[in-house]
Every structure is written in C-alpha cells, then in structure tokens.
C-alpha cells in the first residue's frame, strides 16, 4: 500500500489507546444510550495523526491496521475536523494522515483516539487557542470515548462515558492485549446485552464503579487490580463470539492476574505482574493459537499530545 508522506506544515498529534478497567452498564435511556459507570486507563499503544492544509477533505492511512480505516466522510477524524472548521468558521480544508497502531473496532477507542487527535491538531494548525473545556465539549459531541482520549491517564466516566472525573491511582501496570481477526460492532454488543438481560429477567440498577477497583488503583497493587477487573458487556461479547471466553480463560491459566474484554470487544486485556511477566504471557498465548495478534503495553500514559516539529 503506497501512502503519501506527511505534508509540509502538518501538525502531528500522538494519542493513546484505552482499556476499561471496569465497565458497568445501566438501563437503556430514552435517547437510546445506556447509563455507564466506567474507569478508563490510557495505555502505550499509539496512533499518530497529522493534519495539514489541503484543497479538499482527505484521509490517508498507514500502519498495521490501515486497510480497515474508512477514507471518506464516515471517518470520525474527518467529522472532528469539519466540526472545528464549522464552529469557528475556518474556511479551509485539511488532509488527515493516520498512522494506525491501535486496533480498529477492538474496544480500545481507536476511532475515538483519532478524532481526539484531530481536534487538537486542528486547534494548533489554525491557531484557535481552545482551552481544555472547549476541546472536551467538542469531543463529547463526537463520541463517548473521545474526551478520555484527549485526557489520558486514569479517569472515571459517567453518563455515556463522556463525563470524566479524576481517579486517585499509583503505579504502572503491564498489559497484554489479545487482538482478534475481526471487530465487533458496538451497537450489536449493546443490543445483545439488552437481549440477554431481558431473557434472564435481570433488574438493571443504576451503574456505579466498585469500591474494590478504586481501592486497587490507590494501592498500586497489580494483583488487587487484576481481581477487580469487570465488564458488564462481557457476557454479550462471549455470546456473539464464544471463543473469546476460551481466550480469556487461557490467559488467566497461563498466569495473568486478570483478564477482561476491553469495552465492547473483541480485544481481551490481560493484566500481568511485571514487564517480564507480560513477555512470558505473550509467548504462552502465541503458542496457543487462540488469537491473531498480541500487543504489550503499559499504563497509565498521557492523553493526546502535539509532537514537536523536527528542527531543520
């Protein structure tokens, strides 16, 4: 695949993937969304998004997941750029280059990350000087995970997940992410969650983050965090993709401190004791042939950041 180089004058932003340490899904709201309570952690898998002035709206893609990126107006990054241009009456168009290292449709906010990066890049490209609250408001209008992609670190999300609050945490955590061949549709996973709950007659309470998870983050103890990982969407993901349960169980059997489907899946996140333990787990999972790809990362890391331009 031939990809155009980054254009002169481009602003480049580096943006991380996320994992949901806990995801509690409440009742479906009248607007069709579900009430959520979640704790995000940004991890060291990054996309780089470069935005430059151009004579038309354009997306070009590079990286291991480039072939799965939409290159038209359906791309969330294009919508982000148009939103900034429309809101501040900027009569220019941009070319957006996405160097894609975050899995697509994997439950790690890959599309949301690119939208967040584009917001920040357009702000710098056009010299708008937007503050954090203005960027966060734009981000929330684009998608539930976009505000966190801007913020990074650890944060608690409520509402649709877009209302963020800081989380007290300490330590660095080491992850192994098992990547599936094909993605899972987020609306399909939520619909399956609703179907399973209706079938089982589940009375769905308003969601709240558990005290156990918050205490584990404050302690910085990987074992405590591994035991507290939770995702209410996991049964739905397992129903739609039964092999994910086998994969999660295998990872725990191979020594992970805990395993959980990330977001709406199908990526399965495994927490390990250390960098060395993540290497060992990766070797065991690769030998099991239960997933297409494995990535190691650590968290938390910073959110979207402008990459300094190289000096001449």
- Is residue 145 flagged as an active site residue? yes
User: Rounded to whole angstroms, what are the CA distances from 143 to 115, 161, 218, 310?
Assistant: 9, 9, 28, 32
d(Cα 72, Cα 57) in Å, to the nearest integer?
8
CA distance 213 to 83: 36
Residue written as tokens 């409440």?
Answer: 26
The pair of three-digit structure tokens given for residue 180, joined into one six-digit string: 């599936």
Ligand-binding annotation for 299, yes or no, is: no
Q: What is d(CA 71, CA 58) in angstroms, rounded to the nearest whole number?
A: 7
Residue 236 buriedness (CB in 10 A; 0-12 / 13-18 / 19+): buried
**How many other β-carbons are positioned within 10 Å of the β-carbon of residue 87?**
14
Q: Which residue of the set 18, 100, 114, 232 is catalytic?
A: 18
113 labelled binding-site residue? yes
Helical spans, DSSP H, in 107-182:
110-125, 132-142, 146-151
Residue 107 among known ligand-binding residues: yes
Does the bond joining 57 to the residue before it have cis omega, within 30 degrees of 0?
Answer: no
Q: Is 298 a catalytic residue?
A: no
Would you say 108 is a known binding-site residue? yes
- 110 annotated to a ligand binding site: yes
Residue 106 assigned as binding residue: yes
Q: Which residue of the set 99, 101, 123, 145 is catalytic? A: 145
Residues within the annotated binding site? 103-113
Residues within the annotated binding site for ATP? 103-113
Q: Which residues are catalytic?
A: 18, 145
């Amino acid at each position: 695949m031939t990809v155009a180089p980054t254009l002169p004058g481009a602003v480049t932003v580096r943006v991380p993937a996320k994992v949901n340490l806990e995801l509690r899904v409440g009742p479906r709201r009248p607007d069709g969304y579900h009430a959520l309570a979640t704790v995000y952690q940004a991890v060291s898998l990054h996309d780089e998004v470069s935005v430059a002035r151009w004579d038309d709206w354009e997306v070009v893609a590079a990286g291991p997941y480039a072939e799965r990126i939409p290159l038209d107006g359906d791309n969330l990054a294009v919508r982000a750029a148009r939103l900034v241009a429309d809101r501040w009456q900027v009569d220019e168009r941009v070319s957006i280059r996405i160097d894609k290292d975050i899995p697509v449709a994997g439950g790690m906010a890959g599309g949301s990350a690119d939208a967040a990066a584009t917001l920040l890049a357009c702000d710098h490209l056009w010299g708008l000087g937007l503050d954090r609250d203005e960027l966060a408001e734009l981000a929330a209008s684009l998608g539930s995970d976009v505000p966190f992609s801007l913020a990074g670190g650890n944060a608690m999300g409520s509402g649709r997940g877009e209302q963020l609050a800081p989380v007290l945490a300490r330590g660095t955590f080491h992850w192994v992410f098992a990547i599936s061949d094909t993605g899972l549709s987020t609306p399909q996973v939520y619909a399956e969650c609703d179907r399973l709950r209706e079938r089982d007659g589940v009375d769905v309470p308003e969601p709240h983050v558990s005290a156990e998870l918050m205490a584990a983050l404050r302690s910085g103890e990987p074992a405590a965090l591994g035991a507290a990982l939770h995702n209410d969407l996991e049964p739905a993901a397992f129903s739609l993709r039964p092999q994910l349960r086998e994969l999660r169980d295998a990872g725990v059997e191979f020594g992970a401190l805990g395993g959980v489907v990330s977001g709406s899946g199908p990526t399965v996140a495994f927490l390990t004791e250390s960098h060395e333990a993540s290497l060992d787990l990766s070797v065991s999972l690769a030998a099991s042939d239960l997933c297409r790809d494995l990535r190691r990362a650590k968290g938390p890391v910073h959110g979207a950041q402008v990459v300094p331009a190289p000096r001449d």
